[in-house]
Structure 1
Amino acid sequence: MIFRDDLVANLVERQTQMQYAYEDRLAAARLRLDQVTSRQFIDQDTVEGKVQNLVIRQAMLETRAAVVAQLVEHTARDPVATVASARPGESVVKKGAAPAAAGATTLSAVPASGLGLAPPPKISAEEQIEQVGGKPHPEGMDLRLGHESEPGKNAQRPGQNEAYETGTPMPASSRKSSALTEAADPALPMPTRLASLAVSLDRVEKEQAAGLSNIVKPALDAAVKLRRAFDVAGLPVEKYLGKNKARAGATTTAVGGPFVPADPRGGSFERDLATAQTAVATLDGLRRALPSVPLRKPLNGELQMTSTFGYRTDPFLGRPALHSGVDLREEYGTPARATAAGVVLSAGPTGGYGNMVEIDHGGGLTTRYAHLSSIAVSPGQQVSPGATVGRVGSTGRSTGPHLHYEVRIDGEAVDPARFLRAATALNGMAQ
């Protein structure tokens, strides 16, 4: 009896120990499961955070691309692509270039420097990462990147390859990016793939910065050359920029918002963007002003100046007299052309001018074309730059076929030679 009780007690104790051991193992397993689950949540949060950062960077790059594309559109809005490279003070007058009377000079063209402002070529900048085998992946992995599709898949679906306007062609080696290949490889760990995506976005960001630099320099150069031409002609640039701002007032009056100062620690892209926007705005404003400013030549080809502006000996009376324009020798019947757009104020015989045409270009600027053999316009008529206003002749007080050309500001005659020098410096930009 005693032996049986001991046996039962031993069995109960053994069973209790087994139960405790089982519960200990179960608790340890639960602890390991909780640890794995927590680690998975942490990893998931990390992945989602990285994906969110990539999405934000992608949105920033798309915004930058839109801004750069808009700048490109402004710089290439006009068909003009070249500006002359005349230096300040460089003479554009050559003496004795053609058979002419004593003192005759020739205005010669200045060679142009090729300044291309055409839209830069597009480069590949949008692509989706292929998900293979139906494996689960976090949302946002279909980020658009900047390079070729996954190796071995040459066919492009609609929307698979879009373009960023970055202003510089992507090198061929860049398009074969190993980083993007890794990002598209489903066999690699997710953190590695996300890191590869970040590398690809870094490269696109650098290419955009380089493209913006390619816009800044040509725009600055063109704006400087246009400013120089206005300065040579003695025209205040800000006056014409202000006019264009006033014209654009209808689109800028309904704007507003709180003032948020720019971050002085902003990156180079933001600084270059501000510089580019200023340069492009100046360039655009001066281009808009060009049609109504007499920065063109009234005759085609080289100009033979036989008499300059200012005091001279009158060819008929032999006494000192003020010459209110310049005389340009040309063959009888050669077309005389308007040097800017405007409205014809008068057209007909005008005393010593002979047959004369006067054009109002606005802003107090007028031009006169005298000694014409015939007149091709009438008062009140609107003329465009380069339009024929008449033909060279020798009417009025004239000793031979030539064009008497005047420029007046607020009714006062000024030296047209400075406008002709500016026209020569522009070398066809102001068409």
Structure 2
Amino acid sequence: MSPAEYPIPPRSPAPPGDAAPVRHVLAVGRGTALAAGVVFSLLTAWSAGTAWYFVHRDDFAGKLLAKHAAMQDAYEDRIAALRTRLDRVASQKLIEQDSLEGRLEGLVGRQVQIETRQAILSTLAEQSGAAAPPRQAVTVEPVPADLPAAASAYAPARKPAPEDPFALRLRGSSLQRPLDPAMGGASSGDRLAAVERSIGAVEAAQLRSLAALDRQAAARVQRMRQAIGQTGLNPDELTPPDGAGGMGGPLVPLTVDPAAGPFEAGVDRLQTSLVTLDRLRRTSAALPFARPIVGEPDLTSGFGMRFDPFTRGPAMHTGLDFRAEHGSRVTATAAGRVVAAEHAGGYGNMVEVDHGNGITTRYAHLSAMSVTVGQRVAAGQALGRVGSTGRSTGPHLHYETRLSGDAVDPQRFLRAGAKLAAAALDEVASR
């Protein structure tokens, strides 16, 4: 490197009058100069930075604090949002829990209602005399123990099992076999929904049973009205005798509010039919629908004009003559009260029974009488024995039916009774 020349001050002043001053030159290397320049630059930069810091330090600190505050606000906002979300989730869980508890309470109430309705159906079936409506019952089985106990009595059956339509089994919570595997992973809400559907099926089956009972009762009412009308009597004008032949009192219907629901409305309709049916039954029990002799006796003479067996001339025959063996049992054709049991001229030994509503029956030519005046008798009860007393040509029963004292053809009642009996047999056979 070539040296640089720098002036060097003299070490001592020259004395006056001496020669010109001598200049000394110091040689410095280029590397040293470069290092000095770098040091100078760093010192300059440091000085400038320090000066800038002292001038702008307040603005920098403010910005830093503002950024920190913004970050803190953002974190607080996120925390608040998370808390709000957690509160919302917790509230939703509480709502769902309240909903499940409400549904469980509803299921318990429906269970009680089902049991009450089942008792009503059994009572109505007994009153109507029905053996069973169409087989549409649903069997209810228990659910696994992981559901709340209040719902455990309502597990849906795998398949509706048609058994006794009035045998509704609501069992406990113990379970011998698991539910359908498809239910295994279902939530409590899904299982409760399945239980609710099962209970709905039971309620629907009860409504169908109720409708079947109503149809059967209405059909019986129609048949009995037709049978009574066939005799020439108006069924609406007849009064059932009280306690005739050991009969009970009138049917007292259950108290229900038909506006409470379809089941209650159906019960109200059915009870209207049952009250009418009960009245017609008690009325028909006092109508002479049965035959006066057990078996199929020979009818030797009908009602109306005939040639008298003694005078050989035309005469009015006021009843029916049944030929039978001497001593054959004669029975009451309907419930009633004995108003005569005596020897009555041409009738011979005669029993007369009052059935109410102006209807009486007479049983004549008896060889023996087994009842007394004032005695109440039931349909089919023995009144005496076939004989040939009075104006008779041989052992037979003379049987009469009278309305308000006037003789009418007994066949009206016998044909109506045969029709009712055939209908009853058909109903039993169809069960």
TM-score by length of 1: 0.68
Asked if 1:371 corresponds to 2:365, the answer is yes
CA contact (8 A) 1:293 1:341 kept: yes
Matched, 1:34 2:28: no
Q: Which amino acid aligns with 1:43?
A: E
User: Which of 370, 380, 383 does residue 377 from structure 2 map onto?
Assistant: 383
Match of 2:228, as an amino acid?
Answer: F
Residue in 2 that maps onto 1:19: 72
Please state if 1:354 is matched with 2:348. Answer: yes
Q: 2:208 aligns with which of 198, 207, 210?
A: 210
Q: Paired residue for 2:234, among 233, 236, 239?
A: 236
1:366-413 per-position Cα deviation (integer Å, ceiling 9, x unaligned): 211101122222223332221221111111111221100011222222
Give the AA of the match of 1:299.
I
What residue number does 1:224 align with? 222
Distance verdict in 2 for CA 1:244–1:349, change over 3 Å: closer
Shift of 1:296: 0.8
Indicate conservation of the 8 Å contact 1:371/1:392, yes or no.
Answer: yes
Which of 332, 339, 349 matches 2:333?
Answer: 339
Q: Is the 8 A contact 2:210 2:267 kept in 1?
A: yes
Tell me, what secondary structure is at the counterpart of 1:296? coil
1:81 aligned partner = none
Matches of 1:250 and 1:423, distance apart in 2? 23
Preserved contact between residue 240 and residue 285 of structure 1 (Cα < 8 Å)? no
List aligned pairs for 1:249-288, cutoff 5 A.
262=259, 273-288=267-282
Shift of 1:337: 1.0
Q: Distance in 2 between matches of 1:366 and 1:290?
A: 14
Residues 45/272 of structure 1: CA separation in 2 closer, same or farther (3 Å cut): same
Gaps of 5+ in 2: 1-49, 170-177, 426-431
8 A Cα contact 1:166 1:209, kept in partner: no
- What is the rounded CA distance, in whole Å, between the counterparts of 2:234 and 2:155 in structure 1? 47
Q: Does the C-alpha gap of structure 1 residues 251 and 71 become closer, same or farther in structure 2, counting only changes over 3 Å?
A: closer
CA deviation map 1:153-210 (0-9, x unaligned): xxxxxxxxxx99745999xxxxxxxx9748974x422332232123212322332233
Q: CA deviation at 1:51?
A: 4.4
Residues 1:141 and 2:154 are matched in the alignment: no
Counterpart residue number, 1:118: 131
Q: Distance in 2 between matches of 1:425 and 1:125?
A: 39
Question: In structure 2, how many angstroms separate the alpha carbons of the residues matched to 1:411 and 1:345?
Answer: 13
Aligned to 2:144, what secondary structure does the other structure show?
coil
- The answer as to whether partners of 1:182 and 1:196 remain within 8 angstroms in 2 is no
- Whether the 8 Å contact between 2:240 and 2:280 is mirrored in structure 1 is no
How many angstroms apart in 2 are the aligned matches of 1:240 and 1:126? 47
1:129 to 126, 130, 143: 143
Deviation at 1:306, TM superposition (A): 1.7
Displacement of 1:56 in angstroms is 5.6
Question: Is the 1:73–1:119 contact (alpha carbons within 8 Å) kept by the matching residues of 2?
Answer: no
Secondary structure at the aligned position of 1:369 is classed as strand
Question: Which residue of 2 is the match for residue 322 of structure 1?
Answer: 316
User: How far apart, CA to CA, are the structure 2 residues paired with 1:404 and 1:288?
Assistant: 27
**Partner SS, residue 213 of structure 2:** helix
Q: For the residues of structure 2 that align with 1:39 and 1:299, how far apart are their CA atoms? A: 81
Is the Cα–Cα contact under 8 Å of residues 137 and 206 in structure 2 kept in the other structure? no
The answer as to whether partners of 2:239 and 2:357 remain within 8 angstroms in 1 is no
What is the aligned partner in structure 1 of residue 389 from structure 2?
A: 395
Match in the other structure for 1:198: 196
Please give the residue correspondences for 1:87-106 in structure 2 after superposition, counting only pairs within 5 Å: none
Deviation of the 1:69 alpha carbon:
2.0
Equivalent-residue separation in structure 1 for 2:212 and 2:220 (angstroms) = 13
One-letter amino acid of the counterpart of residue 382, structure 1: R
Match of 2:122 in 1: 69
Please, what is the CA RMSD of the aligned residues? 4.1
Instruction: Tell me, in whole angstroms, the C-alpha distance in 1 between the residues paired with 2:77 and 2:305.
Output: 116
Displacement of 1:74 in angstroms is: 0.8
Q: Contact (CA 8 Å) 1:357, 1:369: kept in 2 or not?
A: yes
**Is the deviation greater in 7-16 or in 235-244?**
7-16
The answer (yes or no) to whether the contact 1:183–1:196 under 8 Å persists in 2 is no
Comparing both structures, which one devotes a greater share of its residues to helix?
2
AA of the residue aligned to 1:131: A
Identity %: 40
Return closer, same or farther for 1:256/1:41 CA change in 2, 3 Å cut-off. Answer: closer
**Distance in 2 (alpha carbons) for counterparts of 1:20 and 1:300:** 107
Paired residue type of 1:66: A
Deviation of residue 23 (structure 1)?
1.9
Deviation readout 1:110-164 (Å, 9 max, x if unpaired): xxxxxxx3246895645443332xx8x6x85346466479xxxxxxxxxxxxx99
Partner Cα distance (2:106, 2:225) in 1: 44
**Separation of aligned partners in 1, 2:355 and 2:183:** 62
How many residues are paired up? Answer: 356
Structure 1's 256 and 288: CA in aligned 2 closer, same or farther, altered over 3 A? Answer: closer
Once the two structures are TM-superposed, the CA of residue 354 in structure 1 deviates from its matched residue by 0.9
